[in-house]
Amino acid sequence: MVGLPARGKSYISKKLARYLYWLQFETRVFNAGQTRRRALAPQKGVYPSSDVSLSHPASFFDPDDMDAVKRRENIALQTLEDLLVWLNDESSSVGILDATNSTVQRRLAVLDKIRKTAHPCTELLFLESCCYDWSLLERNIRLKLSGPDYSQQNEESALNDFRKRIVLYEKNYVSMNESAEEEETPYLQLHDVGRRVIANRINGFLSAQATEYLLNFRLHQRQIWITRNGESIDDADGKIGRSSSLSLRGTKFAHALSVFIKQQQQIWEEVKTYNKSRVKAGENKEILTSQEDITRSNFQVWTSIMVQAVETSKFFPEDEYLIRKFRTLNDLHAGQMEGLTFSEILDSHEDQMNLRRQDPVHYRWPGTGGESYADVIHRLRPIIMELERLDDHVLLITHRAVARVLLAYFKELDWDRIADVEVPPGRVFCVEPVSAAELSDEIS
């Protein structure tokens, strides 16, 4: 990572790591700030006094203080060393160095260490975050005050100290596209977390995956709702995999779902209107937001092309909702087991059920079109891209396996937990992607 403080580097690192891990690339973020704070922590067994601070004052980041410069360089390179040691493990795929790396000298030192230490085939990509949106930057700065560097300070002194830190970093900051020495270095530069993107010398499969994902970043506040189709006739009979019309219970759920979503829309608009009035009145600086965050969002309803999902959407008026159908949202294909109950499968294909229990994520149903959860992950990649890109609210009416995979992405679940995600019938999950100042999406 590259960028001044409060530019959303940790947010971008976390989002990118989540996506690559969901794609089944072992990914980890290494944060230089955590390394710096660990260096201040009391030794094991020593009880810290109440006045011990686990942060450095702004003066520690003065580029004219050569002793502090050397210490910061050592911290950054130690964090990089930890990353490279981890990356040398055969199971590791992507390491992200979350640090400012704001000078050409620092970046060249990072590049030199990687070339000397890492495997010759290791891909390298610098990712720079620039922020020109004043309201976004101000929100980032204020939310930094609740972080570990300032948890023991009052708001005014913390804010003054952090602003001084930014000014000190700005003295020697050189952007990637301003450095003639780095013209051949692969980098991606994000302005306002995706409003504008500059790509330079992007090569390699994983770099391309990361670039494609980052091109779809949006900060617009919205809600993503995820639910299963209403009960179908096959569901009621315990049969898996086929298109099937809704039962009476399923039709009742479909109607209730449309009423519920309408109510949630109204609540959302009321909250946004209230927040907008508070911002105008200057009552709450922590909810400062850009103009697009306080305008009305449209609402889309996405379904699979399976009958039970399409019928679940039938009570949403097409003049109020954009209804879209995606084959990629279809249920996990059960191959030759389509239309059978699990009891029937156990009776006639006990060997397959045993294989499924041993590796539920990678087990693929036998027969034409049979899929595994891993197949569904890669099938849903364009859906994730579109969800990240979209400014509108969206309701996804899909199926249990697909809902599990989507929730695994938003909840950052380990691969081996995907098949165990609870998605009960009649439950609607809400995801609220957060701003660049925060670190994890909210799921209710």
Q: How far is residue 145 from each of residues 3, 49, 162, measured CA to CA in Å?
A: 19, 22, 8
**pLDDT tops 70 at residue 237:** yes
The gap from C-alpha 257 to its chain's centroid, in whole angstroms, comes to 27
Q: Which long-range contacts (CB under 8 A, 24 or more apart) does 147-154 make?
A: 148/33, 148/37, 148/54, 148/55, 149/33, 149/37, 149/54, 149/55, 149/56, 150/55, 152/53, 152/54, 152/55
Confidence grade of residue 44 (pLDDT, cut at 50, 70, 90):
low
Q: What percent of the chain has pLDDT over 70?
A: 89
**312: amino acid identity, one letter:** T
Catalytic: which of 56, 333, 393, 399?
Answer: 399
Higher per-residue confidence, 151 vs 70: 70
Calpha distance 139→141 (Å, rounded): 5
Calpha distance 5→252 (Å, rounded): 51
**pLDDT tops 70 at residue 119:** yes
Catalytic: which of 56, 130, 131, 331?
Answer: 131
pLDDT (0 to 100) of residue 39: 79
Contact between residue 98 and residue 10 where contact means Cβ atoms under 8 Å apart: yes
Determine the straight-line distance between the first and last CA of the chain, rounded to whole angstroms: 31
* Residue 333, token pair as written in the block: 């294909």
**pLDDT tops 50 at residue 231:** yes
**pLDDT tops 60 at residue 49:** no
**pLDDT tops 50 at residue 292:** no
CA atoms within 13 A on the CB side of 223: 22
pLDDT in tens, 134-144: 988 998 898 88
Higher per-residue confidence, 271 vs 113: 113
Q: Set out the domains of the chain in order of their start, with CATH numbers.
A: 9-214 (3.40.50.300), 224-443 (3.40.50.1240)
Confidence grade of residue 18 (pLDDT, cut at 50, 70, 90):
very high
pLDDT in tens, 387-438: 999 999 999 999 999 999 999 999 999 988 999 999 999 999 999 986 544 4
Task: Name which of 41-50, 142-151, 247-256, 299-308 the model is least confident about.
Answer: 41-50
In the residue annotation, 399 being an active-site residue is answered as yes
Confidence grade of residue 38 (pLDDT, cut at 50, 70, 90):
confident
Residue from 291, 313, 316 nearest 304 by CA: 313
pLDDT (0 to 100) of residue 389: 93
Calpha distance 251→314 (Å, rounded): 9
Catalytic: which of 56, 62, 98, 161?
Answer: 98
Confidence grade of residue 147 (pLDDT, cut at 50, 70, 90):
confident
Residue from 364, 344, 345, 367 nearest 355 by CA: 364
Higher per-residue confidence, 55 vs 64: 64
Average pLDDT, the chain: 90
**pLDDT tops 70 at residue 294:** no
Say which DSSP state 432 is in. Answer: E
Calpha distance 11→15 (Å, rounded): 6
Higher per-residue confidence, 435 vs 203: 203
Confidence grade of residue 59 (pLDDT, cut at 50, 70, 90):
very high
Higher per-residue confidence, 322 vs 46: 322
Higher per-residue confidence, 53 vs 419: 419
Higher per-residue confidence, 274 vs 59: 59
Calpha distance 190→187 (Å, rounded): 10
**pLDDT tops 90 at residue 284:** no
pLDDT (0 to 100) of residue 148: 86
Phi, psi of 415 (to 5 degrees): -55, -45
pLDDT in tens, 353-395: 999 999 999 999 999 999 999 999 999 999 999 999 999 999 9
Confidence grade of residue 102 (pLDDT, cut at 50, 70, 90):
very high
